């Protein structure tokens, strides 16, 4: 997740906050060019 976050951030993708580790895995949100919010998740396993 951290590598994806760094790659997308370097390309100008806006993340309101960096990825956060949850008990089930990693979670983050990002914005597209129109301000729509999307979720990026990675389950542990």
Burial status of residue 23 (CB atoms within 10 A of its CB: 0-12, 13-18, 19 or more): exposed
The CA angle 36-14-34, to the nearest 5 degrees, is: 30
Q: Exposed, middle or buried by CB within 10 Å (0-12, 13-18, 19+), for 1?
A: middle
pTM: 0.74
- Give the pLDDT score at 16: 94
**Residue 42 and residue 24 in contact, taking contact as beta carbons nearer than 8 Å:** no
Is 23 within 8 Å of 41 (Cβ atoms)? no
| Confidence (pLDDT) at 18 | 92
pLDDT tens profile 1-45: 889 899 999 999 999 999 999 999 999 999 988 999 999 999 987
């Amino acid at each position: 997740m951290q590598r994806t976050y760094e790659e997308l951030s370097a390309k100008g993708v806006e993340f309101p906050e960096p990825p956060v580790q949850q008990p089930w895995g990693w979670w983050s949100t990002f914005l597209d060019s129109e301000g729509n919010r999307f979720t990026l998740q990675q389950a542990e396993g």
